[in-house]
A and B are shown apart, each in its own frame.
Chain A
Amino acid sequence: MSPTHDTVPVLSVRGVSRNYGAVRALVDVDLDIHPHEVVAIVGDIGAGKSTLARVMSGALAPDSGRIERDGVPVSLTSTRAAREHGIAAVFQDLGLCENLDVVQNLFLGQEIRRGGMLDERQMERRAWEVLSQLAARVPSVRAPVRALSGGQRQAVAVARSLVGNPRVVVLDEPLASLGISQTAEVLNMVERLRESGLGVVMISHSMVDVQAVADRIVVLRLGRINGDFDAQHASYEDLIAAITGITPTGRLPRPNRPAAL
């Protein structure tokens, strides 16, 4: 973690635990996301990455612990409630409607209306705005989503999360099953999100991609935080060691909470 931050974390996870029956998916997890920061969450299968993403974005309620926005505890009862608190998420399935065009997908459930009518012109303008913020290469905002490539779909899904001007964007496995040039586009997009001052949480298991764009890399292992690395200085070997639990290297002392083992 960087030594100093002059900003209050925009999003904090405090002592969050979540069980699925006997499976302890998250155990006493603490995590801070600052504005203008890309935090990557990495870990083995079943380490709790997706559960954490779902808790942060209101899709899943924790058994204990809380979420804070700008230091104030908030209750995220649904993804819609989370969006209203400025936390937007893009899940692996993207949730796009194949038959609808880009504008319709962006504003589905959050249409802009004027005098009870849909304001198509305003929505189209806003669509170009968020897509250009991402420098996304989408051929036309009136093209149906089924005609787009994997990377372009990812861009549309991320753009949809930006429509409500969020402060934090949570991306769950945004690079899964993408080719290399689409991966490149998504990584460039993550850089753009960061440049526009957002806090970005990126869940991935591709270590090379994570190291390319992240400011911090947080390792989850068996539901616990097993390392919080400055991406600039963390080596691949350090990360693999933390993921596989070979050594406790990189574990930061957390003064408020005794390390729970």
Chain B
Amino acid sequence: MSAVQQRGSLTQVELAGVTGLSPATVSNIVKELTGAGVLTTSPTSRSGRRAQQVALARNLGLVAGIHFGSRSLRVTVSDVAQRVVADQRMPLPPDHRADAGLERASLLLTELVDSVDATLAEVLAVGVGVPAPVDPESGRIVSVGVLRGWDGVSVPEVLERRLGVPVRVDNDSNLGALAELRHGAARGRRHVAYLKVSHGVGSGLIVDGRVFHGRTGAAGEFGHITIDDNGPICRCGNRGCLDALIGAPALLRMLESSHGHLTLADVISRAQEGDPGCRRVISDAGRLLAVAAANTCNLFDPELVVVGGRLAEAGPILLDTFRNVLAQRTLPSTAGPVEVVVSELGTAAEVRGALALALDHAGIAESMAVAG
């Protein structure tokens, strides 16, 4: 059951492979659960042979994912089989505030649910990602100054009252890591570092196949690793944090005197068109990113580094430098340098992770236990 839940939909043969049960047992369980209305099956083909595609039934309800970025909001609604039924993204102002942001997210979610002829009552759970450390139990933002206007805000308290739906919150990079683990570049891996390089810089650490949160949820605050002890003052109050050096405001400031007012998307597209200044800024960011990533790798020795976020769209401009410097700075190993890949889910990783979080807490397993 949780195998189907985690992967959205898969064939009976794959289900047998994943669960280690015999095909006959799987077939019996699927038949029973389909009869109980928990699963639906549809004919499909796999390597040219007929097969049964197994998915959770839509009438079990919907889940929603909300991702607050530094400059954007994205809301996605899916059924419990993780088929996306509605999705909308919108830009947000710099330093957006919690009250206005949560209000917009609630309205947008309500409208999206309405657009698929459903009601909020059918939404089983909402997962929310925010670009700041979050206590995963209480859903309270534990940082001071990292996300201005959101310090100490309890996101579930506000949203649950507003929507009447259970709400779970996590750091957006943690959710990006979770999404890559479940559906993306890190499928089947146990120890993974997911780096999100967008307007802000963050990371999610997967240890033994699970997101590692630490004491208060601040684990993997990669953006606040000190790179330059005499560097500029960061939002968090420290000096020379990675985020203060390669976050979007820092990159754009470097280009302001030569290129005027740009957005992060402008910098990436100009770099791809061959603009030397923009290429240089991105490749230098790759170097500093690698220095920080090397320290992280030396500390917990992941089998895979996934690079995500907007800046990953720059491709080799960022990654060539990143791979070289990372290989140089990590402890040489007989196993060779750590594998580095680009995120498979791209900028959708965080919101997909929010959906996964919602699904994990939607109580599908409980309703299944009743039905089964």
Contacts and interface: CB of A to CB of B under 8 A. Distances in A.
Interface of A: 2-6, 36-37, 179-181, 183-185, 187-188, 191, 195, 207-208, 210-213, 215-216, 230-233, 235-236
Contacts of A232: 94, 249, 252, 261
Given A179-B111, A208-B96, A191 B260 contact: no
B261 A212 contact: no
Contacts, number: 68
Which among A179, A184, A212 has the greatest number of chain B C-beta atoms within 10 A? A184
Given A181-B88, A181-B112, A208-B100, A4 B257 contact: yes
Interface of B: 71, 88-96, 100, 104, 107-108, 111-112, 115, 249, 252, 256-261, 265-266, 269
A47 B202 CA distance: 43
Nearest to A1: B261
A180 B94 CA distance: 19
B93 A212 contact: yes
Given A180-B104, A180-B111, A3 B91 contact: no
Contact of B90 (A37, A187, A216): A187
A208 B261 contact: no
B107 A180 contact: yes
Given A5-B260, A208-B100, A230-B261, A188 B111 contact: no
Contacts of A6: 259-260
The 9 closest A-B pairs by CB, nearest first: A211-B93, A184-B90, A2-B261, A212-B91, A180-B107, A181-B111, A212-B93, A2-B260, A180-B108
B222 to A, nearest CB: 24
Contacts of A233: 94
A188 B90 contact: yes
A154 B76 CA distance: 23
B265 A212 contact: no
A211 B94 contact: yes
A231 B261 CA distance: 10
Given A195-B265, A208-B100, A183 B257 contact: no
